[in-house]
Amino acid sequence: MELFPKIGWTLLSLFVAINYGFLINGLIRKVMARIQGRFGPPLWQPYIDMGKLLVQRNSIMHGYMHWLGPIFRSVGGMGVYVLVPVVIGEPRLAGFSDMGDLLLMMYFMFFGSLGMALGAGDAGHPHSPIGVSRGLSQMTAFEMPFILAVVALAAHVGSFDINAIIATQQHGVLSWNLFANPFASAAAFLALLGMNMYAPFNIVGAPTEIPVGPATEYQNSYLSLMMIGRSALAIGKMVMFMDLFLGGAHSIGAAVVKILAIYFWSVFVGAVFPRFRTEQSVRFFLRWPTAFGVAGVLLTQWVR
């Protein structure tokens, strides 16, 4: 496909993905409210929130890095999404997956988190360094099992190319890495709990910490940009997990269903577990998830 048509289709796909992320976010609020015995906000509440934020203005200046934080967050989320194919065999929904690999996607994931950490550090709030240390500590912990899972898949295929990993899973359901390497899959899906930052791993931005979190430090259009970036990153991660462990998708309908199923894995876990402290979260990821990751790498070597 020519470059400009590819850019156009990728931007259209990204627009649809962001809106799908908003709808899932609204659905999550409704589901969590029903679990807690409440009626909950309407499904379109994220759009209402973003509309209110876009019309607000703020004259307070915290520093250039503080305002660049949401931009870094958005670029990181969009970068992950455009590097993964959404539908197999459909060039218009393949994005730029032929121009990057898993290592580049992991850099984009880290890019957004690092940007937010730098932005918080420039805010001048006395509690910002505490939030940054908590968030980066947890991120370092859950990245360990995820990296081991990625290494296991790459060692099995002999490449970090996501298209090559997808191609090895096209021989039936049992060829999906979810079943072909259950240890690596367990490590990755446990790490996903930390990536999505729902309970019990909502150390940064937990409801009890909203008065001193990003929702207070970032107002108006900057907070709406964070919402867009978070939506793009969430869908990008779900598509990546779908491609890595569930054999990808051969149609838009299959992609929608698989993304929703992967997303709600974190939501349902968060509905039944209370929030961990930072040291509990780090200890959790460095134990069983990391052990599963090591077992996944060893299984790959043993099968070969």
Specify the number of domains making up the chain.
1
The whole-number pLDDT of residue 211 equals: 47
133-166 burial: b if 16+ Cβ within 10 Å, else e: ebbeebbebbbbbbbbbbbbbbbbbebbbbbebb
- Give the separation between CA 80 and CA 18, rounded to whole angstroms: 13
- Ranges of residues in the chain with a pLDDT under 70 are 1, 58-61, 123-124, 205-219, 303-304
pLDDT of residue 99: 86
Q: Tens digit of pLDDT for each residue in 190-204? A: 999 999 888 889 887
pTM, whole model, 2 decimals?
0.91
Residue-wise pLDDT for 268-300, tens only, equals 898 888 889 889 999 999 999 999 999 999 999
pLDDT in tens, 232-250: 989 999 999 999 999 999 9
60 three-state secondary structure: coil
Q: What pLDDT is attached to residue 64?
A: 76
Identify residue 162 by its one-letter amino acid code.
Answer: I
Q: Which of 78, 67, 79 is nearest to 115 (CA)?
A: 67
Boundaries of domain holding 129: 3-303
What does the pLDDT read at residue 206? 64
The three-point CA angle 285-108-104 to 5° equals 95
pLDDT at position 275 is 86
Q: What is the pLDDT of residue 214?
A: 61
| CA-to-CA separations, 142 to 33, 66, 134, 192, 244, in angstroms, rounded | 28, 25, 13, 8, 17
